Structures are given as structure tokens and as C-alpha cells.
Chain A
Amino acid sequence: MNYQDEFRDSRIVKGIAAHIAELAAKAGRTMTFMEVCGTHTMAIYQYGLRGLLPPQVRLISGPGCPVCVTPAGYVDKAVAYSRLSGVIVATFGDMLRVPGSSSSLMEERARGADVRVVYSPLDAVKLAERNRDRCVIFLGVGFETTTPTVAGSIISAQQLGLANYFVLGSHRTIPKPMEVLTADPELGLDGYICPAHVSAIIGADAYRPLAEQFNIPCVVTGFEPTDVMQGVQMLVRQVVERVSRVEIQYSRVVKPEGNRKACEVLEEVFEPSDAEWRGIGVIPGSGLAIREKYAAFDAERAVSVRVEPLREHAGCRCGDILRGKITPADCPLFAKGCTPEAPVGACMVSSEGTCAAAYKYGI
């Protein structure tokens, strides 16, 4: 048995499920927990974990997929950049197929735009090094997990003296929207499965204000099936005991204080800003913008481009999905007008999107 298998053993998972059922029966009511990390969304679908939970425990997905929460206008801007001559757009693969108002990066690539898939922003810096006569624009889309590496890429571009590396940023922080969603009486959330990777950077203490001021249980949870089940068990126990605190299930990776070094790199390059979230709207202080000091690397400030007027797709309910208001099956387009081959909304495109997960792994 290797390292991974031990966290995926069905006997252990089912044992935890039995404990959860026992505890939940004590609570005597249904409870709803939200995960706010795309990797959790995927893991829950991928391992079929919902089917193992008792009927009193409901898991819903929130705004955990960075590609999904990025508004359509961002894609339009990326498309506009890709149409400029002398520009290479570098991106994580997930952004390629996200539909903008009238096109996507994949379509632009088929028409001749130079769009490259990279696995890390540092690969984009290397591209810029090798193509000094062209502008490389990296699409920085992500939460606190990705942002430090983007910050690192800007710092190394500066050290290399590159004047042709730019970042089109859509960087966000996760705790702020959690506050907004907790306050929504319609959702009636009973607890959060807090992200694993993000928390490894920002630290579990980042959820303290949330747990304390909004009286909502928070458990930082890993991605393996036994992790998720244990995280749910800890949440149910808090509900039964009527307490709200931050607990760390994923203690083999996450510390209360997080990763100071990564945060320092992030803070060197980025500062808090307001950000628009698809489906939620503008949340003050929930974004990260490139500091003035590094403005030369900010695509929006350094490379001007004309963007087509925004046209949202009628009927797409990504916004409601991201707020946890509906599940994919509630969207009239799901698996009919909207499939991974012909996606209408970002939630069907991203490998971490809730609609994509439900389509791919649903039973």
C-alpha cells in the first residue's frame, strides 16, 4: 500500500461515514456544509462521497473555482490581447475553453493567435526570455495558492531585466466571499470545508474572524477521501456540540500561521483591491492587484487594448451555482444546451467547475 492508498481505503472511509451518521442522528436536524475549493468539489464528485453521507448531511459547492468566478469581461480582455500581433498569451489550460462574449482563447488559437498552455507562470517567464521581440502576457487567474508563484514570476522577470513579460491579473482571496455567503439567510450554511492548498499559504488562523464573528464552524480539510470525510465529521461534531471554531483536519500540511515566506513574496508584489466575482458581484478587498512598484509588469497598465462590449449568455446560471443557490441539475441548460464540448458557462469548462464535475462524475 502506498502513501495515497492509505487515504483512499474504502473500509476507513465507510467507518468514518458510520460515525458521521451516528453523530448526525444526535443533531436531529439537517445540516448544510459548503466547500469553497475546486479541488474539494472534484474530490467529492470523483470519489462519489455524497452517496456515502447520511441524508441529514448536505454538501454544496461554493465559489471555489478561480476560473469560474472570473467575470466574462476578463476572458474578453484575454481574447483581445491574443488578437494583437506580436503577443503570446500564456495560460493554464483551464482558461482556454472558457467562453467570452463572442469567442474563446481556443477559437482564437484555431484562427492563428499564439496561445500557449503552461503549467507554471515561470514557464511563461521562460517564454518571454526566448521571445524577446514579442510580448508574453500570462493570465494570472487564481487564489492564494497561485498568486505567490505569479508574484515570484514578476520578481524573476524583473531580475532578468525582461521588458516583455506581463500579467493580466484576476487574483482573489477566499475568506471575504465566505463572509458574504455566511450572511446569506437563504443559504443557511452550517459550516465550511475550508480549502487545503490556500490554507497552507494563508494559514488556518485566517478563518478565525469568520468563525468567531459569524458563528460558523470552519474545518481546514485535505483532498483525499478520508480527509474530506473526517473534515465533515469534525463539522458535524461542532454542530452537535453547538460550537464554532477553526479546526485543522489537514494538519500534515496546514499550520495555523500558514507559510510566511509565500505570503511575503505575495505581499511584495500584490496589494488588496476590490474584485468582481461572477454571481456575487464586487466584494471590497477580496482581490489582489499588482502594486504600483511593479506596474510595468501589469498588462492592463502597460499594454493597451480595445475590448468588445460584454454580452452575458442568457440562461446560464453559473452565478447561482457559485453562490450555492442551485445544483447543476437545477440549471435548465445542464447536459442539454451546455456540455463540456459546447459549454455555455465557465462552470462547465474548468476542470474544477461544479457543472463539469457533475457532468463528468454524476451518476
Chain B
Amino acid sequence: MNKDLILLGHGSGGKLSHQLLDELIIPTLSGTPVSGQNDAAVITHDGRRLAFTTDSYVVDPIFFPGGDIGSLAVHGTVNDLAMVGAQPLCISVGLILEEGFSRHDLRLILESMRRAADRAGVTIATGDTKVVARGSADRIFINTAGIGVFEHELELGGGNAGEGDRIIVSGTVGDHGIAVLANREGLELETEVLSDSAPLNGLVAEILREGGDAVHVLRDPTRGGVATTLKEIALQSQVSVTLLERSIPVHPQVRGVCAILGLDPLYVANEGKLLAIVAPDAAERVLERMRIHPLGKDAAVIGGVTAAEAGRVRMETVAGGMRGVEMLAGEQLPRIC
């Protein structure tokens, strides 16, 4: 294999993405080969903690059932800030437009961004626009960055999962990836699958209010899906995770499309779901609180954390057997976000 080439799989959010980050990007940019990244950086300045994050959006199609590239770009950055426990304050918007892109579509996307920002309670504070020659980009790419502040002392991170913790997912998994894919491939479905793209900061505030320091990890399982995210957490926290397949909520339509296309919903991207890893004595309370929130109504406990065999993720299958769960390898679905 030619080692010099950047492949689509390097952007999948799975194992190849990790390799590129760990081998090239992080050591070159920061000098430290840190493995175990969180969704946003937490920086301390003058004794105050701030959260900072950035993300780029290249989804194809740019309008899909349940959202568009604009709302997705706002939600994604809001969610990355929320996952470290920060309240999103303001975001920036960088637009890269292809020559010939429609002004009408741009307006729709901008209006959608504005609505998404209002809903999440963030200000769009600054931005930049570039136009490149036809063919140098595909219609529109968006970068957003965001700053968040902390209203509490809690420290959340992928390295904090501990023995006995329960794993909660906030709703059905795989909706976003399948909504985009079905639309892109022109699959005709009986009922349309909608993307779950949504701002999670409100739900996070509820979870933290209820669970406090019993909440150890929050993560939004975007590219690479629930499986990849849990594997990352297991490695970061040096624990093992056991899932119960039967309890993982999957929309029947999503399950159907996955079966046809040979995909595993556990690896399909979500844009409005989170995983909460919570101490056992608080798990039930946190779950109940999540279910009251509209974005957590299908929340479920899907497994637990054990101390033995660091980095392992295993699942009791619906059939009663056991199997391992690995990170996504290669590209499952390119340009999904």
C-alpha cells in the first residue's frame, strides 16, 4: 500500500482517521503525540476554563431529510462544546463556495444556520467567505469553530469511565447516516428516515443538573458511530465495555436499510445523539431525566463498564452469543457530515 496517499478512509472517523491524527497531525502541530482526544479542547486562562472546538462540513447532498449542511455545521460545533460540559457561547462560520453555486441555495443554508444558532442559544460572532473556481470544491463547504464557557466545576472526558458505570444512549442510532445515504443513493423507502441533527446542549444541561459528578463521560457518536466512540472511550479510560444488543434502540427503517446495504447501525453516524457514561447509582435518575427531554425520549441503558481487559468492547448479541466490537475500518460512508 502506498503510504503517501491520503485516502477517503482517512476522513471516516474510524481507525485510519486516528492513525493520521496520531502519526502526523497532532505530533506535527502540537509536538505531543497525545492519543485520547475529546470533542473540544478545554483551556484554562486566568483561572477560568474555556472550551474551544472546530469542525468542517462537506456533506453531500447539502439538503437532506431532517436538515442541511448549514444547520448541521451549527449543531456539530455546539455539540462538540456540549460534550465537554460547556455552554456554547459563540461560533464562527467559514464558507468555501464553488464558482456557480446558487445564491438561492446559499440563502436557504444561511437562514437555516441562523435558526439553528437561535435554537441552540449561540451567537454567530464572526466569519469568512472564499470562492474557488468551478471544480475546486463541490458547491459549498462550511467550517465552524466555537467557544464555550463552564457554569460548573465538573470535568468530563473520554478518560473518565470507571468500573461499574452504566452506558446510556440518548435515542435511536444511525439515523443521520442512513437519512443522508438513502437520499444520496435515491433509495425509495416507505417512510422517510430523518436525520437526527439537533443541538444537544439543552439535554446536556439536564443530564449534568441531575447527575452532577456522577456523569463521567459525554460523547456524541458522529462519524464511526456508537461502536467506534465506545472503543475510543474504552481505550482512553483503560476499561472494557459490554453492550447488550437487544437494548440498543434502532429505528426499524434504519435497520431495514442497513440490512439491505450490509451496514451495521452501530457504525453509522449520528448528529443529534449522545452517549452518557454515568456512575451506577445515578444512572436510573439520569435516564429518567433524559426521557423527559424531547431529544432523549428514546434514551436507554445499553451496557456497562468493567475493569478487566482494558480497551475491549464486547456485545451480547440478540441471539445470546458474545462478539467483539472494533473501530470502523476504512470508509463506511464518505461525506456524511
Q: Which residues of A contact B (CB under 8 A)?
A: 2, 4-5, 8-11, 13-14, 45-52, 97, 99, 103-104, 106-107, 109-111, 119, 225-226, 229, 339-342, 351, 359-363
Contacts and interface: CB of A to CB of B under 8 A. Distances in A.
Contacts of A48: 316-317, 319-323
Task: Give the interface size class of chain B.
Answer: 20 to 34
A118 B317 CA distance: 30
B255 A46 contact: no
Contacts of B29: none
B7 interface: yes
B2 A341 contact: no
B16 interface: yes
B5 A107 contact: yes
Contacts of A341: 9, 15-16, 19, 329-330
Interface of B: 1-2, 5-9, 15-16, 19, 185, 246, 252, 255, 259, 261-262, 314, 316-326, 329-330
A104 B146 CA distance: 39
A13 B1 contact: no
A363 B9 contact: no
B284 to A, nearest CB: 24
30 contacts: A8-B319, A9-B318, A10-B320, A11-B320, A14-B320, A45-B323, A46-B317, A46-B323, A47-B317, A51-B321, A52-B319, A99-B1, A103-B2, A106-B7, A106-B9, A107-B2, A110-B6, A110-B7, A119-B185, A225-B319, A225-B321, A226-B319, A339-B15, A340-B330, A341-B16, A341-B19, A360-B326, A362-B323, A363-B323, A363-B324
Contacts of B317: 10, 46-48, 225
B321 A47 contact: yes
A47 to B, nearest CB: 4
A359 B330 CA distance: 14
A363 B241 CA distance: 12
B322 A363 contact: yes
A111 B1 CA distance: 13
Contacts of B9: 97, 106, 341
A104 B9 CA distance: 13
Nearest to A2: B252
Contacts of A9: 318
Contacts of A225: 317-319, 321
A47 B1 contact: no
B5 A111 contact: yes
Contacts of B316: 48
Contacts of A97: 9, 330
A47 B15 contact: no
Nearest to B318: A8
Nearest to B246: A10
Given A10-B246, A46-B323, A341-B9, 6 more contacts: A4-B255, A103-B2, A107-B7, A110-B8, A225-B321, A351-B262
Contacts of B314: 363
Q: In the A-B complex, list the 4 residue pairs whose CB atoms are closest, starting with the nearest.
A: A48-B321, A340-B329, A10-B320, A225-B319
B15 A50 contact: no
A336 to B, nearest CB: 15
A66 to B, nearest CB: 13
A201 B74 CA distance: 49
A2 B326 CA distance: 28
A168 B322 CA distance: 40
A339 B329 contact: yes
A52 B318 contact: no
Contacts of B7: 106-107, 110
Contacts of B16: 341
Nearest to A53: B321
Contacts of A52: 319-321
Contacts of A11: 320
Contacts of A103: 2
A15 to B, nearest CB: 10
A4 B245 CA distance: 14
Contact of A362 (B261, B319, B324): B324
Contacts of A339: 15, 329
A249 to B, nearest CB: 16
B319 A50 contact: no
Contacts of A363: 314, 322-324
Contacts of A5: 318
A362 B324 CA distance: 5
B206 to A, nearest CB: 31
A56 to B, nearest CB: 18
A363 B325 CA distance: 8
A3 to B, nearest CB: 10
Nearest to A335: B326
